Amino acid sequence: MARYLTVRALLGLIAISGVVLLTFVLQFLVPGDPARRVAGPRADEVVLQTVRANLHLDDPVTTQLATYVVRTAQGDLGVSYQRRRPVIDMLLERLPATLLLAGAGLVIEIVLGSLVGVWDGLRRRRSPALAAMNILLLSIPTYTLGFLLLYVFGYKLDLLPLSGGPGLPELVLPALTLGLFGVPYYASVVAESIRVAASSPYARTAVAKGLTPRQVMRGHLLRNCLSPVITLAGLDIAIYVSGVIFVESVFGWPGIGLLAQESFVNLDRPVLMGTVILGAVVVIGFNLVADVVRAYVDPRTRTDPA
């Protein structure tokens, strides 16, 4: 396991480097002049020149990249063009809000998805109502659902705030938008696992011991659904992170996603790079954690013999 994790961490580092390189180059393809954004629309050429010099925007791209890579390797993500503050501080400031939203969404999709999945998996045939709901959820784009929830609960019923945060009332709608989307996926995975487990020989053994249906379910079937759920969460994390960024923008939730969007609009390159690196680290780190947890709940996936 230790060796496996080291290899995975190294591969992760390579992936992050790739992401850094790609994003860095792509930034220069975005039209617009960062100096102009900093200096304002009415600044004259002299001011612009000074700003460019200060931000090293006139250096060749390769020099800028080299400087950036060296600094990043030392843990320095630079300073925001716009706010003149260290990027690290800005990220850390926004991180709790994002973790709250991402965590809430994840809990919703896993808990709700698993409940629905267990219910469906215990039926002899798939529930047609559930199948219809799945198709509906799968075919509505995220933004439609987000705006729909906003319209109904925020505007029409006026129950919840339209945007902002990071308080609990503001959390409800973005977390629901984020979570509801995952429900069909988790529900299908759990339902399928329950079906497979319930008709397995080990379930028959459990029944043959005289266990109650509840004991069979809790002690034997559910445990065997954990591994696929964790696998799905690991596979889904990259898409999930992009969902977080999107939902934060729609609902004005003051997290990393909103910061990424603002920095993109403002051509604030160091901040944008910072959010991208953080996203990549989260995706890779989450996958590592998922592997460790899965090895814990399913001993067959442990690579080294114990």
Partner 1 sequence: MSDLAIVDVGVSYGRFVAVRDVTLAVPAGTTLALVGESGSGKSSLAHAIARLLPPGTGLTGSVQVGGRELASLRGRDLRDVRGRVVSYLAQDAMAALNPVMRVGRQVGEVFARHQGLSRRESAGRAGDLLRRVGIQAPDLVARKFPHELSGGMRQRVMIAIALALAPEVLVADEPTTALDVTVQAEILALVRALQAERGFAIVWITHDMGVVAEIADDVAVMYGGRIVEQGPVRDVFAAPAHPYTRALIEAAREQPDTAAKARFLTIVGQPPAGELPSGCSFHPRCPVAIDRCSTERPGSRLIGEGRHAACHLAG
Amino acid at 150: L
CB of 96 to partner 1, least distance (A): 35
Which residue, among 226, 217, 139, 237, has the nearest Cα to 181 in the 3D structure? 139
CB of 202 to partner 1, least distance (A): 4
**Using rule CB under 8 A, residue 201 touches partner 1:** yes
CB of 115 to partner 1, least distance (A): 21
- Give the integer Cα–Cα distance in Å for 160 and 245: 21
**Using rule CB under 8 A, residue 292 touches partner 1:** no
**Using rule CB under 8 A, residue 46 touches partner 1:** no
60 by DSSP, 3-state: which?
Answer: coil
Question: HSE-up of 52 (CA within 13 Å, CB side)?
Answer: 13
**Using rule CB under 8 A, residue 41 touches partner 1:** no
Please report, as residue ranges, which positions from 91 to 130 form the binding site for partner 1 (by CB under 8 A).
124
In terms of CB distance, is 160 or 207 closer to partner 1? 207
CB of 212 to partner 1, least distance (A): 6
CB 238 within 8 A of CB 16: no
In terms of CB distance, is 42 or 214 closer to partner 1? 214
DSSP conformational letter for 212: -
What pairs with residue 86 in β-bridges? 79
In terms of CB distance, is 78 or 121 closer to partner 1? 121
How many residues touch partner 1 under the rule CB under 8 A: the total is: 27
Please report, as residue ranges, which positions from 226 to 285 form the binding site for partner 1 (by CB under 8 A).
226-227
- Give the integer Cα–Cα distance in Å for 36 and 67: 22
DSSP string, 78-137: -B-TTT-SBHHHHHHHHHHHHHHHHHHHHHHHHHHHHHHHHHHHHSSS--HHHHHHHHHH
In terms of CB distance, is 57 or 292 closer to partner 1? 292
**Using rule CB under 8 A, residue 199 touches partner 1:** yes
Please report, as residue ranges, which positions from 202 to 231 form the binding site for partner 1 (by CB under 8 A).
202, 204-212, 215, 219-220, 223-224, 226-227
Find where tokens 């580092």 sit. 13
Other CB atoms within 10 A of residue 83 CB: 14
In terms of CB distance, is 75 or 210 closer to partner 1? 210
Q: What share of the chain is helix, strand, coil (3-state, %, to 5)?
A: 75, 0, 20
In terms of CB distance, is 112 or 297 closer to partner 1? 297
In terms of CB distance, is 46 or 208 closer to partner 1? 208
Report the interface residues with partner 1, using CB under 8 A: 124, 199-202, 204-212, 215, 219-220, 223-224, 226-227, 297-300, 305-306
